[in-house]
Amino acid sequence: MALHVADPEVTKLMNEYVKATGMSKTEALRRLLRDALAQQKRRQDKAEFERVAHRIIRKNRARIIAPVTKEEVDTIFE
């Protein structure tokens, strides 16, 4: 699949990046896209973790479960 970029700024940035790294344009684009996708996945994973954590908090508050004490947390890591 051919990829044509008509944006002068993108072309300039790619040329500077290729010159700075010594990579081919294909390899540079591959690595940049991999990094961007990995970063996006980390953001999605974090958001999912936060949703689950908030759901657990809501359930426990509805059950009127006392918060975990510092002493209880400390015993977990002993």
Q: pLDDT tens, 8-62?
A: 999 999 999 999 999 999 999 999 999 999 999 999 999 999 999 999 888 988 8
C-alpha distances in Å from residue 35, one per residue of 6, 41, 42, 57: 23, 10, 11, 33
Q: Which residue has the tokens 């991999």?
A: 34
Per-residue model confidence (pLDDT) at position 61? 84
> In terms of pTM, does the model score above 0.85?
no
pLDDT confidence tier of residue 68, bands split at 50, 70 and 90: confident
Angle at 46 between CA 40 and CA 49, to 5 degrees: 145
Percent of the chain that is helix, strand, coil (3-state, to 5): 75, 0, 25
Per-residue model confidence (pLDDT) at position 41? 97
Per-residue model confidence (pLDDT) at position 29? 96
